[in-house]
Chains A and B, each alone.
Chain A
């Protein structure tokens, strides 16, 4: 293996990609001519191309390693066989319930888990019928933490009838595998526990008991999602029911317990260790029995030890009936005493004294997880004597205190001056699940947008408050920085179907709390909660609202919670502004519309996504995307003509694609009227004024947007762009630098800085700035083009030509706006080429073309009659 010089390697790389652009049968010829005179270079590239053809799935699965070398175990006979339309791929594991295989559903092409139930379990028809009924009922709950059962079936084999159970295939490990490797960190353990409790709550509500909660029956997927397996199966197999116990009691008392169908002695021990006292006594097991078993599992997760571990099954069972497990605090000082109490409350010997429902249990766990009651054990002794977690009383007291507090503060602040500006900070996602991020962002955003419709309230825009995301927040400091009177902070926990939102509204002047509230709702009520929050805040701010404003504030844009959730996901990806994320956002908006075909906001989002894809950010030809954007925007307006977002979406199309200035002006004015606090509308209005050649008014308007989002990187950079087009280059440079003070890595600000430097003939700085922009955002051809233009203007013709070649090369792989090349030719003074490319830009309806008339980079073309002609064709007065 030889190390190539990096320059040589780059040459190889360039040629490699260039070769791949060609049809396979043209590659050899291409390399022959491209590497003329350099045989070793040709050979190098050709061998890479050839290797690429053979590579297959090389390195596709990430690295893996194995436990002790396989002793070429004999393949179980089932593998490779087909059961109805399931092909059995491999053995996943063996358990008391029989063997579990990975299968492939040959009709649907998906992976499934196949459980073959031994005949011994299925001979009792009545039992089997009950099991099937329960399994279907639990699966029908469609709970995210309960495994989905696809099918329960029966096949006739040589050995007789065999029942099988087909479930979704879950990648990941069982909780048993986790606990064996030591205790879990607290937040992780609680997160898993909350999800298990949520599954139990759903099943218990449906009247179904699991009866065999143990680490083996809890799967943890790599993304953290937990699935509880085998609901009701225990009843079928009799393993944990009274019947089983009485039948086997004699065996258990002996030294070597013989569990049914298993030769692994750890097996029955494992199961026995999680039995509830009533199960041990052979009584029927109800919901509280699951709660006891759950307590054992949670104990083990946090301590790494079993709650009831004894030498034999019989001793273990005795311990379950009589003993208390050692305090968890003994194993780790960092565990909170509340957790110890919670576990003890699960492990009460008498079913009546345990948590009365898994729902209550889940709630207590969430409280622990949210950290609000994570009091360290040091301060515990005095409180340890209190009745174990009589949480209802605690809650009632807390709620009362909060109510009194907010009334008092309300009366107090009522005499002060009214509050007319507000910042709503992104809600913290207190769920361990990062997927809930879109929800915590989205709910705050929705509250921002409904409150920002109030004309007498100045509400900080999303992009501004976003800077505080994930930070330790001092509301008063934030409030002072943003010059607002009040700050709303909140956090959100999503657990299955339940959503907990906690909020606090703080007056910046004195740090007093204006309002605080906690909502715990079902996910499907999230829409109503938001409207309620917005309304409550406006009341606390003592805003006097007109009837119409009231109505707008509590307006619900869709009744469909799923559609709304999908919309939030769409906006989340839209805000990231990369081609990939924009495509993703389209998928989500589309799904939202599928759920609610009358969802105007969904269509507005769809329009915005298509438009951005057709802009320089998206890198797709405008002709491909803007017609779709327009159709979506029109549809949004047809559904709701009071929606500022819908007007804004349409105006973007009018300005950048339709070039319909009259319509743009009319619609943008309507959008500003509908929502004066929506920064986007001011930006669009500024854009319109700039195109119209009214730079001073444009700057005034963009500064209005900036007031709404003083910390938005994009808005700040765009202010710089407006100054640039107004030919106030020094101010433009200053503004771009201010933007970079906010974030050194914001590529567009470097790019616009480069533009301005060129006009000041400060070429070296221009080139450096633009190069910085390309390094930060290499997929943006606008920066490459700006570099070419800077080279051209500084007289480095060769470099500029190189850049033109690069753009040409790039255009084989993706859409490059012709405008990008027109700029460089204009810089080189090659009028013919410049006009040729501008004509192409005209044909493509390139995004930047409406600015032709005011763009300083085309000054060299102005005197040519073709320039005036082009301006006229765009629909502007020359």
Chain B
């Protein structure tokens, strides 16, 4: 089982929600660790080629780490928002490592990042998406946050709205434009436009 019992992790989540930033700093590595562990397990035990939604992992991490009877709906959304950021890191790190390996790296070590095999096309996409998200964040932080929460964290529009303290309407609009922008940027890289 986890090193930190759910009571403690739940407590950290609640403390962070009531404004304790150090609780957040303690929470992040714990959630990251659990996500990596779960991803690793998935890789080792799943049928080859079986596709898993990142959000399913986030969901399971939540159920495993958090005592849901003590946590309100909004806090759950906050957890998912954080886990979404971490999931982005787990996946993008894996994709980057895979890309560098493709360029002649050794096949010996099996770290998680190497084991998360993202079909080649996908891993290139993921890296491009990651870069594009950084650019988007520089122009419009909220939109990039919405993409991370929805795409990597699996938050619903309403949950995203609650985390960002904006209306669901705003989230819908932002999400729509962010997707269009990303879509255009990513198709540019493919050489659609000169």
Question: Which residues of chain A have a CB within 8 Å of any CB of chain B?
Answer: 1-6, 9, 13, 16-17, 47-48, 51-52, 54-55, 58-59, 61-71, 73, 173, 178, 180-188, 222, 224, 304, 332, 334, 429-432, 434, 437, 469-470, 578, 580, 745, 776-779
Set of chain B residues within 8 Å of A185, measured between Cβ atoms:
1, 6, 63-65, 67
What distance in Å separates the Cβ of A570 from its nearest Cβ neighbour in chain B? 17
| Alpha-carbon distance between A222 and B53 when the two chains are bound, in angstroms | 11
Bitwise, B39-68 to A at CB < 8 A (1) or not (0) is 101110111111111111001100111011
Assuming the A-B contacts A13-B177, A62-B152, A183-B1, are A55 and B49 also in contact, with contact meaning beta carbons closer than 8 angstroms in the complex?
no
| Alpha-carbon distance between A559 and B179 when the two chains are bound, in angstroms | 49
User: Is B29's CB within 8 Å of the partner chain A?
Assistant: no
Would you call B170 and A578 a contact (CB within 8 A)?
Answer: no
Assuming the A-B contacts A9-B140, A48-B184, A778-B170, are A63 and B54 also in contact, with contact meaning beta carbons closer than 8 angstroms in the complex?
yes
Bitwise, B101-135 to A at CB < 8 A (1) or not (0) is 00000000000000011110010001000011001
Q: Which residue of the partner chain, among B51, B135, B169, B181, contacts A66 with CB atoms under 8 Å? A: B51
Which of chain B's residues 20-47 have a Cβ closer than 8 Å to chain A? 38-39, 41-43, 45-47
User: Is B138's CB within 8 Å of the partner chain A?
Assistant: yes
What distance in Å separates the Cβ of A573 from its nearest Cβ neighbour in chain B? 11
| Alpha-carbon distance between A183 and B65 when the two chains are bound, in angstroms | 12
* A52 closest partner in B (C-beta): B180
The 9 closest A-B pairs by CB, nearest first: A70-B49, A51-B184, A67-B46, A779-B167, A63-B54, A9-B139, A62-B55, A52-B180, A68-B48
Would you call A62 and B49 a contact (CB within 8 A)?
Answer: no
Would you call B152 and A63 a contact (CB within 8 A)?
Answer: yes
Question: Which residues of chain B have a CB within 8 Å of any CB of chain A?
Answer: 1, 5-6, 38-39, 41-43, 45-56, 59-60, 63-65, 67-69, 72-73, 76, 87-88, 91, 94, 116-119, 122, 126, 131-132, 135, 138-140, 147, 150-154, 158, 165-170, 173, 176-177, 179-185, 187-188, 193
What distance in Å separates the Cβ of B187 from its nearest Cβ neighbour in chain A? 7
Assuming the A-B contacts A3-B138, A185-B6, A222-B59, are A66 and B179 also in contact, with contact meaning beta carbons closer than 8 angstroms in the complex?
no
Would you call A66 and B184 a contact (CB within 8 A)?
Answer: no
Assuming the A-B contacts A13-B177, A187-B67, A434-B68, are A62 and B170 also in contact, with contact meaning beta carbons closer than 8 angstroms in the complex?
no
Set of chain A residues within 8 Å of B5, measured between Cβ atoms:
334
What distance in Å separates the Cβ of A140 from its nearest Cβ neighbour in chain B? 31
Would you call B135 and A1 a contact (CB within 8 A)?
Answer: yes
Other A-B contacts than A55-B183, A63-B91, A185-B67, 10 sampled, CB-CB below 8 A, are A51-B187, A55-B180, A59-B182, A62-B55, A63-B88, A65-B122, A68-B49, A181-B41, A181-B60, A779-B169
What distance in Å separates the Cβ of A336 from its nearest Cβ neighbour in chain B? 13
16 sampled A-B residue pairs with Cβ under 8 A: A3-B135, A9-B140, A51-B183, A55-B180, A62-B55, A62-B153, A63-B53, A65-B52, A66-B117, A67-B42, A67-B49, A67-B50, A71-B49, A181-B38, A182-B1, A185-B1
Q: Which residue of the partner chain, among B39, B73, B140, contacts A6 with CB atoms under 8 Å? A: B140
| Alpha-carbon distance between A182 and B68 when the two chains are bound, in angstroms | 19
Q: Which residue of the partner chain, among A5, A58, A62, A776, contacts B150 with CB atoms under 8 Å? A: A62
Would you call A62 and B68 a contact (CB within 8 A)?
Answer: no
Would you call B49 and A578 a contact (CB within 8 A)?
Answer: no
* B72 closest partner in A (C-beta): A470
| Alpha-carbon distance between A212 and B176 when the two chains are bound, in angstroms | 48
Set of chain B residues within 8 Å of A184, measured between Cβ atoms:
63-64
Would you call B48 and A70 a contact (CB within 8 A)?
Answer: yes
| Alpha-carbon distance between A71 and B73 when the two chains are bound, in angstroms | 42
Would you call A67 and B94 a contact (CB within 8 A)?
Answer: no
* A186 closest partner in B (C-beta): B6
Would you call A3 and B139 a contact (CB within 8 A)?
Answer: yes
Q: Which residue of the partner chain, among A48, A470, A745, A779, contacts B180 with CB atoms under 8 Å? A: A48
Set of chain A residues within 8 Å of B176, measured between Cβ atoms:
52
| Alpha-carbon distance between A437 and B116 when the two chains are bound, in angstroms | 38
* A54 closest partner in B (C-beta): B183
| Alpha-carbon distance between A180 and B165 when the two chains are bound, in angstroms | 38
* B40 closest partner in A (C-beta): A181
Assuming the A-B contacts A1-B131, A17-B173, are A67 and B117 also in contact, with contact meaning beta carbons closer than 8 angstroms in the complex?
yes
Report which residue of A54, A68, A70, A73 has the largest number of chain B beta carbons within 10 angstroms of its beta carbon: A68
Assuming the A-B contacts A62-B150, A184-B64, are A6 and B139 also in contact, with contact meaning beta carbons closer than 8 angstroms in the complex?
yes
Assuming the A-B contacts A3-B135, A188-B64, A224-B63, are A65 and B168 also in contact, with contact meaning beta carbons closer than 8 angstroms in the complex?
no
* A303 closest partner in B (C-beta): B1
Set of chain A residues within 8 Å of B52, measured between Cβ atoms:
64-67
Set of chain B residues within 8 Å of A434, measured between Cβ atoms:
68, 73, 76
Set of chain A residues within 8 Å of B122, measured between Cβ atoms:
65
Set of chain A residues within 8 Å of B193, measured between Cβ atoms:
47
Assuming the A-B contacts A63-B55, A779-B167, A779-B169, are A69 and B68 also in contact, with contact meaning beta carbons closer than 8 angstroms in the complex?
no
Set of chain B residues within 8 Å of A332, measured between Cβ atoms:
1
What distance in Å separates the Cβ of B39 from its nearest Cβ neighbour in chain A? 8
